[in-house]
Structure 1
Amino acid sequence: MPFRYLAFFILVCVASPARAQWFIPGDPEDWNAQIGLGAAVRPDFPGAASLVASPVPYFDITYKKQFFLNTGRGLGTFLYGDKNGRLKYMLGASIGPSFDTRGSKDVPGLPKVGVTASGQAFGEIFFDRWSVELTVHKDMIGKGHEGLRADLGLNYTQRIDGKRGLLRVGPQVQFGSGDFMDSFFSVTSEQSPAANLPTFNAKAGAARLGGQAFLSYPIAEHWNVVSAATYYRLVNDAADSPVTRDKNQLSLFLALAYRF
């Protein structure tokens, strides 16, 4: 993991709500946080057959139930929320790093797709423990895939041990814009000789089908085990691309977090 992420993790820990009277303005009761450190295993790049493992900081911090900083969405805010009987609605926006990447040596002859800043707009409709969620990701600075990715999912959410723990699980489909698909799955006529791959033009559309599960489970008064698993199968042009080496994509995450 790059040093800047470790440094950021250390800074978040030092400025935790437990020390709010020195570092964070406002009433400490307005803050809710979990902070920890874990490890992740994920495909080396979209369509890769190999997996890479790395340490990953875990943080989930909210202020007045409106502003948040967390590992999944980055830094953002809930813009709108309402309730109509058993239906609830929520809209939000955030910005954070995108880890849909590919190194210059992963597929020799094809360009690198780097880490970039991803702007996200998301909305969710809840009905009891079920919800439908849509998140749209946009490369904000053109250093990565330079496109749009949309995730549409159906979620089942269950609170554990009061509100100290959480289970969230459900199926998901991911869509990619033309630029997103080109970045990971296309091979141009200029790239073909160097990559030793046939030319291929990946079109916009559904790219991955699968599901994900998230569990935050309390094991002591202030400690939670946090885990996540994601499985996707590449479909359509993402599956047919000569860049793809394995259509099955699995990611795992496990962390120990302190709850303030």
Structure 2
Amino acid sequence: MRLSPTFTLGLVLATSAALPAAAQERSFNFSLRGGVSAAPDYPGSDAYGAAPDLGFTFGALKWGPINAGNGIYEIPDNGFAFKGAFRYIGAREASENPELQGLNDIDDTIELGFGVAYREANWQAFGEVRKGFGGSEGISGTIGADVIFRPNSRLTVTAGPRFNLGNDTYAATYFGVSGVEALASPNFGAFDAKGGLLGAGVEVEATYRIGDAWAIEGAVEYEHLLNDAAASPITQFGSEDQWTVRLGLSRAFTLRF
């Protein structure tokens, strides 16, 4: 999937010059991550392959009475905070996975949403909800908590449990098998996948700052599929245990408008 945002620089500069000083104090701080991951070929698969790793992290927003967040790579304030949520799920194609013969292909999916977190100096708990666009139009979410280690001013390590949920549309997209698909498939019978708690596991993530705007990010995630995600014939043919390893480079941006 190609992401190609367009910014008209001349218009921004002309508008900024005409705005009063107070208006120009508005800003949006965030980071974008790009890299590579080793992950299951599709949810429930026991085969692994390389895939792109894409990420978005909310840093701060200042706009009138809104003053949320400390900024990317800064230690967040204690207490409740809002956050953005982003997840990329790669395409599922029978041409690349012959065992899926008869099942519909699923395009790449971008999930966007928001979350709320409670943070202290050495731990945090959070929940987020995301809406899918592309291959899946379902709604998914994650509830998690982390202990936070800061061995030095550049390195931050977080580790904690994750509980992944999805609605009926999400579950049917990745774990369901329709009657038509079952007739065309030599491997899978019909299965009406329902949403709910679909997986639980743990994630360990490390971020190392290599400058004011750049950082190296890496993570290892383990998820054990549950309920209808585990009972799906797709998963039974594959594996309930799902591992993901990713490594990428992130850059912080601050847009002033």
Q: Which residue identity is paired with 1:204?
A: G
TM-score after normalising by structure 1: 0.71
- Displacement of 1:45 after TM fit? 0.5
1:112 aligns with 2:105: yes
| 1:44 pairs with one of 41, 45, 52 | 41
Q: Which residue identity is paired with 1:128?
A: A
1:143-222 correspondence to structure 2 within 5 Å: 143-162=134-153, 164-196=154-186, 197-218=188-209
Distance in 1 (alpha carbons) for counterparts of 2:55 and 2:196: 32
1:66 aligns with 2:57: no
Is contact 2:54-2:88 (8 Å) kept?
no
SS in 2 for 1:239: helix
Tell me what 2:241 maps to. Answer: 248
Deviations 1:69-88 (A, max 9, x none): xxxxxxxxx98569xxx950
Tell me what 1:226 maps to. Answer: 217
1:13-28 correspondence to structure 2 within 5 Å: none
- The runs of 5 or more residues in structure 2 that have no matched partner are 17-23, 71-76
Distance in 2 (alpha carbons) for counterparts of 1:79 and 1:144: 35
| Identical positions, percent | 23
Deviations 1:89-142 (A, max 9, x none): 012346x56316422433121112222342302110123322111010112x4x
Deviations 1:28-73 (A, max 9, x none): xx897877753211111100111111454677684xx328xxxxxx
TM-score after normalising by structure 2: 0.72
Distance in 2 (alpha carbons) for counterparts of 1:118 and 1:220: 29
1:238 aligns with 2:229: yes
Is contact 2:204-2:219 (8 Å) kept?
yes
Distance in 2 (alpha carbons) for counterparts of 1:79 and 1:118: 25
| 1:125 pairs with one of 118, 123, 143 | 118
Distance 1:183 1:91, change over 3 A: same
Distance 1:175 1:32, change over 3 A: closer
Give the number of equivalent residue pairs. Answer: 227
Q: Which has the higher contact order (CA 8 A, sep 6+)?
A: 2
Distance 1:186 1:128, change over 3 A: same
Which structure's CA Rg is the greater one?
Answer: 2
- Displacement of 1:227 after TM fit? 1.0
Deviations 1:147-176 (A, max 9, x none): 1111000111223422x3211111001011
Q: Which residue identity is paired with 1:41?
A: A
Q: Which residue identity is paired with 1:130?
A: W
- Displacement of 1:181 after TM fit? 0.6
Distance in 1 (alpha carbons) for counterparts of 2:143 and 2:87: 20
Q: Which residue identity is paired with 2:183?
A: P
After TM superposition, the runs of 4+ consecutive aligned structure 1 residues lying more than 4 A away are: 30-37, 55-62, 78-82, 218-224, 256-260
Q: Which residue identity is paired with 1:181?
A: A
Deviates more, 1:52-61 or 1:118-127: 52-61
- Displacement of 1:216 after TM fit? 1.2
Deviates more, 1:169-178 or 1:109-118: 109-118
SS in 2 for 1:212: strand
